[in-house]
Amino acid sequence: MTDDPQDPLPESSFKFRRVYSYVVTLLCLAGVGWIIHKLVEAVHLAGVAYGLIGLCALLATLYLIAPSAEAIVKMIGAASILKRP
């Protein structure tokens, strides 16, 4: 058997996913804070603020429910066992 360069899979510790999620969440929240600060001068930025809030909600949801790469590989392997010859 050959050594697989992807073994263990890169997401086995979830570190990259956590760091990425936290950085994007902080940037989105900073953007929302800036927009709220500017709302006195420009009310039309409210739509952008709602979009950033939605993005944060989507990112947090995907982070919490998305399976890791290892889980996806196991699901694919289990599905291939169920195939008929």
Following DSSP, what letter does each residue of 11-47 receive, concatenated? Answer: GGG-HHHHHHHHHHHHHHHHHHHHHHHHTTT-GGGHH
Residue 85 confidence (pLDDT): 60
Cα–Cα distance for residue pair 19/54, rounded to 1 Å: 19
Residues of the chain with pLDDT under 70: 1-14, 84-85
Residue 53 confidence (pLDDT): 86
- Cα angle 19-4-20, degrees, rounded to a multiple of 5: 10
**31-50 pLDDT, tens digit each:** 888 888 787 777 788 788 88
